[in-house]
Amino acid sequence: MEFKDYYKVMGVPRDATEAQIKQAYRKLARKYHPDVSKEKNAEARFKEVGEAYEVLKTPDKRAAYDQLGKSGTAGGDFRPPPDWDAGFEFSGTGARDAQYSDFFESLFGGRARAPADGPRGAFHPERGEDHHAKVLLDLDATLHGGARQLTLRVPEIDAEGRLVSKERVLNVQVPKGILPGQHIRLAGQGARLPGESIPPGDLYIEVEFQPHALYRMDGRDLYLDLPVAPWEAALGATVKTPTPTGTVDLKIPAGSHANSKFRLKGRGIPAKPPGDFYVILQIALPPANDPQAKAAYAALAAALPFNPRSNFGV
Amino acid sequence: MPPLPDEPLHGAIFEESTVLTLRDLSRMCAVDERHIVEFVEEGVLSVMEITKTEWHFSGAALRRARMALRLEHDLELNLAGVALALELMDELQHLRRELSGRGV
C-alpha cells in the first residue's frame, strides 16, 4: 500500500495552522468539486483532497498521522505498525458519501456507507444504489425518438472491494422530446445488492447532444442559419427550408436583411410544450470570379450609390 | 441464425415524469423539511405547483436540491453562496451549450 502524503495533497507545509489547512481545502475543493469543475480528473482529485482534509482538520487524526510520518515511511511501501493508533480515538462522523483510500481505511477504519438515496446511517438498505451516467446523443434521437446503443462506464465494486469502472452496453429507447440536461430513468438498472430479496437501484442517464450539421439547439428551441441571395432578401422570395419535420416553403418578405429572424412555432424539439424553430437569414454573396459576374457587380455599383460604412463618419 | 436484437429498454424522462412532495424531497435528500423550505425561500429551488395542502416539486428539483446540498457541505457555503453558485453555473452551462451548438 502506498503511503499518502496528505500535506502534499493539500499543498501545505507540515506545520500549517488549522486556518491554513482550511483555506487550502476551500481553494482546492472549489477547483475540483465535481459539480463545478471541468478538470478531467476532478472527481478523483476531489476525493483525495477530501480525504486529506478529513485527516488534517481533525486534531486527533492529524496527530496520529504525524506520528506515523516520523517513522520514515514516506514515499515507500507502507504498512501501518500494529499498535500505531494506540491512544487515539476516532469519532465516526465522516463526510457523507465519502469513499476513502485503502491507506485511509487501514489507519482510521472503514465506515458503513449509507446508500446515496436512503437516510444517512441506515443499516439495512432497502434497495441498491442508483447509478448515474452521461451520454452524447444525435439530435435525431430527441426529434423522432428511437432506440440507441449506449456505451456506459459504470462504477462497480470489485471482489476486493475496490471501485472500478466497467463498460456496459445498453439498448435504450430514447424518449422523444428529451432536452439537454434531462435524464432517462431506467428502473432497476442500477446497483444490484447480493441477495434476491433486495430490489436493484435505478439508472439515470443524463443526455447531451452532439452538434448538428444544420440546427443549433437552445433549450427546446432550434435555430437554422439560412443562406439567401442578396436579391432574395431585397426583393422577397419563397425559399425551400429544411425543418426537423420536413421541408417547408418559407416566405421571405422584401426588404429582409442579414440576421432577420423568422419563427416557426412548435417546430423545435417535440418536448412538452414543444420548442420553436427559428430561421436566421444569412446573406450569401455570389462569387465574382468570371467577367460576367464582375460586370454584374459593376453595373449594380453604378446603379446604386451605397456606402455600408456611412455611420462610421469616416 | 443471428441473435435477435435486444428489445430496447424503455425509460421515462425523469424531470417530467416525477412529482415530489416536500416530504418526498426532504426524505430523498436526507435533510429536514425546513432545509428544503429554506432553499425555496432563497430561490435555489422552485415549487412546480402549490395545492391547498402540498407543495409539488418536479424531478429536476431533486437533482438541484442534491447539488445544492453537496455545494453547501463540500465547499462550506452558506445559503446565499449556494444560490449564487447555482445561478452562475446555470448561466455557464447555457453559454457552454450555445458554444458547442455553434461547433466551437
Residue listed under C-alpha cell 437569414: A281
Q: Is residue B5 part of a domain?
A: no
What residues contact A146, with CB distance under 8 A and at least 6 apart? A140, A173, A174
The verdict on A183 touching B (C-beta cutoff 8 Å) is yes
Let me know: does A131 contact A153? Beta carbons within 8 Å.
Answer: no
Q: Which domain holds residue B35?
A: 18-101
Supply the CATH number for residue B28's domain: 1.10.1660.10
- Give domain limits for chain A: 6-108, 131-209, 215-303
For residue A56, CA distances in Å to A52, A101, A102, A253, B72 come to 6, 15, 17, 70, 20
End-to-end CA distance of chain B: 46
Subunit contact A35:B71, Cβ cutoff 8 A = yes
In terms of CATH, what superfamily is A215-303?
Answer: Urease metallochaperone UreE, N-terminal domain (2.60.260.20)
From chain A residues 200-229, the ones with a CB under 8 A of any chain B CB are 204-205, 211, 216-218, 223
Architecture of domain A131-209: Sandwich (2.60)
In the block, residue with C-alpha cell 433486495: A198
Residue with cell 442500477: A190
Spell out which residues of chain A touch residue B9, defining contact as CB-CB under 8 Å.
Answer: 170-173, 186, 189
Stated pTM of the model: 0.69
> What's the domain count of chain B?
1
**B6 assigned to some structural domain:** no
Mind telling me how many Å the CA of B54 is from chain A's nearest CA? 22
d(CA A217, nearest CA chain B) in Å: 6
Residue B4 included in any domain: no
d(CA A143, CA A244) in angstroms, rounded, equals 7
Residue B53: inside a domain: yes
Question: Is CATH 3.30.420.40 the classification given to domain A6-108?
Answer: no
Going residue by residue through chain A, which has 314 residues, state the pLDDT in tens, using 9 for 90 and above: 678 899 999 999 999 999 999 999 999 998 999 888 888 888 888 989 999 998 999 888 898 888 876 655 545 555 655 555 554 544 433 334 456 777 777 777 654 333 444 444 444 567 788 888 889 999 999 999 999 999 887 666 677 777 677 788 899 999 999 998 899 999 988 888 777 778 888 888 989 898 899 999 888 999 999 999 999 999 999 999 999 889 999 999 999 999 999 999 999 999 989 999 999 999 999 999 999 999 999 999 999 989 999 899 87
B3, part of any domain: no
ipTM for the whole complex: 0.77
Q: Which of A265, A194, A258 is nearest to A226 (CA)?
A: A258
> Would you call A118 and B93 a contact, using CB atoms and an 8 Å cutoff?
no
